[in-house]
Structures are given as structure tokens and as C-alpha cells.
Amino acid sequence: MSLKAFHVFFVLLATALCGMCALWAAREYMNEHATEMLVFSILSALSGVGILIYGGWFIRKQKHLSYL
């Protein structure tokens, strides 16, 4: 596995983790109405979007490299 393939895999994994954390925190906020859970949910969702943007930038920048 090349460094590029590992990097893309890690970006997808980190995005999925941010999404799951955002959903969990949103559910906790709905149950407990704790402001910190709302903030954590929003920050997790924004982090996931940021990681996706970074992943797109990385793939465009490294398009000349093989995934092997």
C-alpha cells in the first residue's frame, strides 16, 4: 500500500469518525440539552467537512502519483 493510498484511507476514516461523533453528540444534546454537546456536535461536523476538503485538495495535488 502506497503512502498516497494510506493517506486517502486515513482521511476517509477520520471523516467517518467525525460524522459518528457529530451524530452521537447531537443525540446526547437532544436527550440532555447540554450546551457542550451541541458545541461538540457542530465542531465535529465542521471538522469532518474540513477533512473532506483537505482530502479533495490532496487528491488533486497528488494526481500524478499511483495508488500502488
Residues with Cβ < 8 Å from 2, sequence gap 6 or more? 65, 66, 67, 68
Taking only the tens place, the pLDDT of each residue in 7-19 is 999 999 999 999 9
Taking only the tens place, the pLDDT of each residue in 13-44 is 999 999 999 999 999 999 999 999 999 999 99
Torsional sign, CA 25, 33, 42, 27? positive
Q: For the whole model, what pTM was predicted?
A: 0.86
- Residue identified by cell 495508488 is 67
Q: Which residues of 11-40 are buried (b: 16+ CB within 10 A; e: fewer)?
A: beebbeebbebbeebbebbeeeeeeebeeb
